[in-house]
Amino acid sequence: MSKLSEIEALLFVAGEDGLSLGQLAELLSMPVTGVSQSLEKLADKYQEDKDSSLALLETARTYKLVTKQDFAELLRAYSKAPINQSLSRASLETLSIIAYKQPITRVEIDDIRGVNSSGALAKLQAFELVCEAGKKEVLGRPNLYVTTDYFLDYMGINHLEELPAVEESELVAEESQLFKERRIEEEEQDENK
């Protein structure tokens, strides 16, 4: 039994929950540096082996055994795991506000969006992308919402700092892009009339 095969066995059983460096080091009684070296080796081994469908993924600071991205098309019809599903626009807006402005109350989210966000918030909580974290010390003591570790996994990142940033110039470009797309759609609709 090599160290690599031991790590593979552990990651296989852990599945989508994954294991952190610390957990692996403890289970294998190895130093953390040794584990991360072995993980790199394992990742390389998968990548070079054309007959292997597996890859190593690090999200939310845990390592998971996943299928290579090339198989997404093949697996889409078969797998219906929540992590591979996309969100509605309302949920996405709400999630982005929480992600960048956490901790935040529901009323504050409503103010930014200009609409009631209870539905989207309930959905995000059911998917465990956001959770309640304490209360705000104001009148009414409203709940504060933050993103979870699963949110990091959902985004494929390890830290919140890795979230996409937005530049002012980009905003203008995106906006006119959106506008152009809408214009084209509208023109098409006009032609169809």
Partner 1 sequence: MDIKIKDFEGPLDLLLHLVSKYQMDIYDVPITEVIEQYLAYVATLQAMRLEVAGEYMVMASQLMLIKSRKLLPKVADELDQVEDLEQDLLSQIEEYRKFKVLGEKMADQHQVRALSYSKPKLELVYEEAELVHDKSTIDLFLAFAKVMAKKQEEFSQTHTTIVKD
How far apart are the C-alpha atoms of 148 and 125, rounded to whole Å?
A: 10
**Beta carbon of residue 31, minimum distance to partner 1 (angstroms, whole number):** 26
**Beta carbon of residue 1, minimum distance to partner 1 (angstroms, whole number):** 18
Alpha-helical segments (H) within the chain:
3-14, 21-28, 32-48, 72-76, 89-101, 106-113, 118-126, 149-155, 168-192
Stated as kind and residue range, the H or E segment containing 143 is: strand 143-147
Q: Which is nearer to partner 1, 35 or 104 (CB)?
A: 104
Q: Which is nearer to partner 1, 4 or 172 (CB)?
A: 172
**Beta carbon of residue 137, minimum distance to partner 1 (angstroms, whole number):** 19
Residues 6+ apart with CB under 8 A from 128: 148, 150
**Beta carbon of residue 174, minimum distance to partner 1 (angstroms, whole number):** 5
How far apart are the C-alpha atoms of 142 and 133, rounded to whole Å?
A: 11
Q: Which is nearer to partner 1, 122 or 133 (CB)?
A: 122
Interface of this chain with partner 1, residues 62 to 121, rule: CB under 8 A: 64-69, 71-72, 75, 79, 81-90, 92-93, 95-97, 99-100, 111-116, 118-120
Interface of this chain with partner 1, residues 146 to 185, rule: CB under 8 A: 153-157, 163-164, 166, 170-172, 174-176, 178-179, 182
**Beta carbon of residue 152, minimum distance to partner 1 (angstroms, whole number):** 10
DSSP class of residue 17 equals G
Q: Which is nearer to partner 1, 7 or 155 (CB)?
A: 155
Amino acid at 94: T
Q: Which is nearer to partner 1, 31 or 171 (CB)?
A: 171
Stated as kind and residue range, the H or E segment containing 63 is: strand 62-67
Interface of this chain with partner 1, residues 125 to 144, rule: CB under 8 A: 125-128
How far apart are the C-alpha atoms of 39 and 23, rounded to whole Å?
A: 13
Q: Per CB under 8 A, does 9 bind partner 1? A: no
Amino acid at 41: K
Interface of this chain with partner 1, residues 23 to 52, rule: CB under 8 A: none
